[in-house]
Amino acid sequence: MRQASIERNTRETQISVTVDLDGTGRYDVATGIGFLDHMLEQLSRHSLIDLNVRAQGDLHIDFHHTTEDTGIAIGQAVAKALGDRKGITRYGSALIPMDETLTRVALDCSNRPWLVWNVAFTQPKLGDFDTELFREWFGAFAQNAGLTLHVECLYGVNNHHIVESCYKALARALRQAVEIDPRQAGAVPSTKGVLGGGSA
């Protein structure tokens, strides 16, 4: 059962997350930020990872802490559910179109966190949401999930489409990477026998 729960409580946010890597894409998400909820629902639905998120944060200041800390908590839950990462496919990639936008994501469940973010927005805000915060979420998620994560919007104009294609591409790549490979027979997919540290 590749399930995990995380609680993260600070003076800025109180967050609880539960994930099931072998789910069906069921979600129950409430962060207090409508657009972030919508993106996390997309992440769950297209990765088939069941996701439950409850977050309360200092939204009277801005959306930064809640956005970043939600990425941290979900990443920690995914890492915990992966455990020693035995038997997983490890790598995943996706090329996702959304109307005029095309986004590519490639990732490695390497336990060596890294984010490459080649995504440009045409406006500083999407509704009340600062578009720069999406990079913060992806960075926090990659760092805490132990992912080498490359996100690149190849082209696009509409900011909603750009962001949504990033989350959907992450979802599809993650679904591929965390799946159990029947040919791995429970082995760690690395010549070192462990994921993390140097080259593997």
pLDDT in tens, 94-119: 999 999 999 999 999 999 999 999 99
Domain count across the chain = 1
Q: Indicate whether 190 belongs to any domain.
A: no
Q: What is the mean pLDDT of the chain?
A: 94
Question: Where residue 155 falls among pLDDT bands split at 50, 70, 90?
Answer: very high
Q: What integer pLDDT is reported at residue 188 of this predicted model?
A: 67
pTM tops 0.85 = yes
Tokens linked to 147: 């992912």
Q: Indicate whether 106 belongs to any domain.
A: yes
Q: If you count them, how many residues does the chain have?
A: 200
Q: Indicate whether 184 belongs to any domain.
A: no
CATH of residue 88: 3.30.230.40
pLDDT in tens, 158-200: 999 999 999 999 999 999 999 998 888 776 665 455 656 554 5
Closest CA to 171 of 41, 32, 16, 11: 41
Q: Indicate whether 59 belongs to any domain.
A: yes
Q: What integer pLDDT is reported at residue 191 of this predicted model?
A: 47
Beta strands per DSSP E along the chain: 3-9, 13-20, 27-30, 50-57, 91-98, 101-108, 114-118, 125-126, 129-130, 148-155
Q: How far apart are CA 82 and CA 144, in angstroms?
A: 12
Task: Residue 53: give the domain boundaries.
Answer: 3-178
Residue 64 has pLDDT above 80, yes or no: yes
Q: Indicate whether 192 belongs to any domain.
A: no
